[in-house]
Amino acid sequence: MINILSYIVLAAFVIRTIRNTLYHIFLWQNNEYRLDMLKVYLKTSVGKRIVFGPMAKIKFVLLALFIFALIGEFNIIASLAIWSFGVLFIVEAWRNLGEFMSGSLPLPKFTVKVVLIILITLLFQFILILSSSPRFALDLMPFMDKLLAVSVAAQIGLLSIPTRIRDALLEYFAMEKMVRFKRIRVVGITGSYGKSTTKEFLYQLVKDEFNVVKTSKNINKPVGIAKLILQEVSDKTELLIVEAAADKHHGRNQVVRITNMLADKLSVAVITGVNQQHLALFKSRQEIIQTKYSLVTGLNDEGVAVLKVDSRSMRRLAKKAKKDSLKTVLCGTDKRLYAYGDKIVLSSSGSKFELVIGKNRAKLNTDLLGLANVEGIVVAATVAMQLGVSWNRIKTKIKKLTPPLNSLNVVKKRGLVLIDDTYSANPDGVIAALDFLSLYSDTKILVLNPLAELGEDSVLVHKNIVKYAAKICDAIILTNGNNYEAVMKAVKEDVVVVVKNKNQVKDYIKNNFKGKKVILFEGRETAGALSTYKS
């Protein structure tokens, strides 16, 4: 009988170990295999539950009890502790089978690196267990459980060494290639928000004027840009548009790594805005600003900085650039700037505004939604003019602009309006999306992926967002419990706030809200909930 129970526990241990291995690797991969990003995640409410949740605490107490019983030779207590572990493993395995069958378990993207880590981890976990007697295997399981996270972390640490060597070589060869090109110009775009929108609009404005290569999707780190240069840039390329993430990794400024790689070819440096995004990865807001400003300092002698001045931080950056004797062009929605959007009228079907650049003025109508897209047009058009594109060509092309995927894209479906803003979420972007949502009169629901990496500003930012959303929305659905307490303190009683996973959102809305509805999906984690409407 004992042997049968031992084999049941063993089977349960195998199931939950496979699940936990996949989940640990997913966490690392989702945080770019970076310890600093993982630490930030583990400080969130959801992250704390992984390390200090009820199950983790119970296991810690049982393990301490088991070790104490072994040392004191209290065999009965030791057996009780081990069989209690067995019960926990069976409970975990049952839950994990449900996750596998429902598809709710987040899985890593299977690369060679991931497969290698999975194989080594499972071999390490199972060889000792499966080669031991059932009784000794039971004694080993609690220790192997605790060693799982350490094993995955150690492998990632070891594999980071050849990865860093590879990255350094890729960046070196990319720089060597850029040195050889004489006529190529580079536009670098950074900012806490609006980078991708500006990049896509600029590409559409200039693609017929030059032979253009641009970074695709969310490729904005040094190694991704290095691969792009090595694979796609040639001596026929006239313009390279690069989205640059303002980041620090291993103590190194990522923007400086990018500008060094561009080998004095950076002709236009664009900063689209600064806010608290990624504050948790920096020492201060000033360090964020300085990191972004390093793109401007990487300009060549004839280069120009295009700055979207929409905040105190950006005004300070503009003053600093002027003090550093750099050529700057300021744009935004302020009439005092060189380029600006004026008389802006937004609707649920598009936007109408006047674009002013220097002495040029034009009335424009577009199908693009929300103020953020208008601002993106202003910046992109300003850069296009700096590159030599004619005013008439710019006006004509603006009317044909299409928005980036998953950025305020509207889908209408059987009494529903689904607003897809799942590309990313940041404080300014969420407010802008809510402003667009307010243009509708039907029941309005916000599905929000709580923002990450805001550091000490996290609670305040979420309070401000939810206070603003509560004035517009009939309900707020969070995709995880991060900052839930701060959210609840910020809302009034007549606004519904709930936490639902991606598989629960659709049924919750269907069962609780009747009639026509407009649903805003904000942040990448909400993409799963949105997909349930499209299936």
Beta pairing partners, 362:
355
| Average pLDDT value for residue range 284-310 | 85
Contact 190/266 with Cβ under 8 angstroms?
no
For helices 285-297 and 312-323, the axis angle rounded to 10 degrees is 40
Nearest to 174 by CA among 242, 271, 269: 242
Number of H helices, E strands in the chain: 19, 17
Quick count: other Cβ atoms within 10 Å of Cβ 432?
A: 21
pLDDT in tens, 319-359: 888 888 889 999 998 889 999 999 999 988 889 999 999 99
Using the predicted structure, report yes or no on whether residue 277 has a pLDDT greater than 70.
Answer: no
The pLDDT value recorded for residue 182 is 86
Alpha-carbon gap, residue 80 to 74, rounded angstroms: 10
Establish how many alpha carbons lie within 13 A of residue 108's alpha carbon, considering only the half-sphere containing its beta carbon.
25
| Average pLDDT value for residue range 214-219 | 87
CA 173 to the chain's CA centroid: 28
- Three-state SS across 314-364? HHHHHHHHHHCCCCEEEEECCCCCCEEEEEEEEECCEEEEEEEECCEEEEE
pLDDT in tens, 40-94: 888 877 788 888 888 888 999 988 988 888 888 778 888 888 888 889 999 999 9
Alpha-carbon gap, residue 255 to 290, rounded angstroms: 10
pLDDT band at 496 (very low <50, low <70, confident <90, very high): confident
Nearest to 69 by CA among 139, 146, 7, 144: 139
Q: What is the DSSP letter of 403?
A: P
| Average pLDDT value for residue range 440-448 | 89
The pLDDT value recorded for residue 198 is 92
> Which residue matches tokens 């003053």?
319
Using the predicted structure, report yes or no on whether residue 110 has a pLDDT greater than 90.
Answer: yes
The pLDDT value recorded for residue 452 is 73
The pLDDT value recorded for residue 279 is 56
Stated length of the chain? 535
pLDDT band at 456 (very low <50, low <70, confident <90, very high): low
pTM score, two decimals?
A: 0.85
Alpha-carbon gap, residue 58 to 85, rounded angstroms: 9
The pLDDT value recorded for residue 252 is 75
Nearest to 212 by CA among 231, 186, 188: 186
User: What percentage of the chain carries pLDDT values higher than 90?
Assistant: 36
Highest mean pLDDT among 217-221, 376-380, 434-438: 376-380
Q: Which residue has the higher pLDDT, 479 or 166?
A: 166
pLDDT in tens, 231-276: 999 989 999 999 988 777 666 788 889 999 998 899 999 998 877 6
Q: Where do the domains of the chain lie, and which CATH numbers do they carry?
A: 2-160 (no CATH), 182-398 (3.40.1190.10), 409-534 (3.90.190.20)
pLDDT in tens, 133-160: 777 778 888 889 999 999 999 999 999 8
CA 259 to the chain's CA centroid: 23
Q: Residue 207 phi/psi, 5° resolution? A: -65, -25
Contact 245/196 with Cβ under 8 angstroms?
no
The encoded tokens of residue 216 equal 């695709």
Q: Which of 45-59, 125-139, 204-218, 501-515 has the lowest mean pLDDT?
A: 125-139
